[in-house]
């Protein structure tokens, strides 16, 4: 996708509560060098051990990663049904009525297959929000349509074998 910012679409983006700078950052992240896939962790300990022995810059693009104040720990998401730690996988998702495919979105899911626990991770939600606003801005003539529900059938899952 090629982006050109003119006053019109910047103004339009503004209506969607998205900062143009934020958009270009996300777009850069999208086209950045390929990062190694983050393995699926079976436990928080396994995850901690992994990060203690690997260089995070090979896995995480810190230019687009969100910075959290030191001492702030996000609670690990757990399944509300069986209490197990939710796992992460990466999916490509069509957004904005199929006009944009956003790649490598982190999706949380329950290892026991409880479908209602399947959801995008917060930072992935944020990227989707930006791309949807962006797509709308790219077609300013389009009439506002009812927001389509994201159907699970359109999700291409690139699942890796558990390590
Ligand atoms: Zn579950």
* pLDDT tens digits, 21-48: 666 666 665 544 567 777 777 777 777 7
**Domain locations along the chain:** 7-63+76-158
Ion ligand 1, residue ranges at CB < 5 A: 79, 81-82, 110, 112, 114
pTM: 0.46
Do 100 and 1 touch, CB atoms closer than 8 A? yes
Å from CA of 118 to ligand 1 middle: 9
Task: Please tell me which residue, 125 or 27, carries the higher pLDDT value.
Answer: 125
């Amino acid at each position: 996708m090629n982006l050109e910012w003119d006053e019109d679409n910047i103004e339009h983006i503004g209506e969607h509560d998205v900062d143009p700078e934020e958009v270009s950052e996300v777009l850069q992240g999208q086209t950045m060098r390929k990062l190694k896939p983050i393995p699926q962790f079976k436990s928080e300990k396994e995850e901690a051990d992994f990060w203690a022995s690997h260089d995070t810059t090979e896995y995480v693009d810190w230019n687009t990663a969100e910075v959290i104040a030191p001492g702030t720990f996000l609670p690990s998401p757990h399944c509300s049904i069986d209490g197990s730690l939710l796992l992460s996988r990466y999916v490509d998702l069509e957004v904005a009525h199929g006009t944009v495919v956003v790649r490598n979105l982190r999706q949380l899911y329950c290892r026991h297959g409880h479908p209602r626990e399947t959801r995008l991770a917060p930072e992935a939600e944020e990227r989707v929000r930006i791309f949807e606003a962006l797509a709308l801005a790219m077609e300013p003539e389009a009439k506002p349509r009812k927001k389509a529900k994201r159907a699970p059938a359109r999700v291409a899952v690139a699942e890796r074998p558990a390590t």
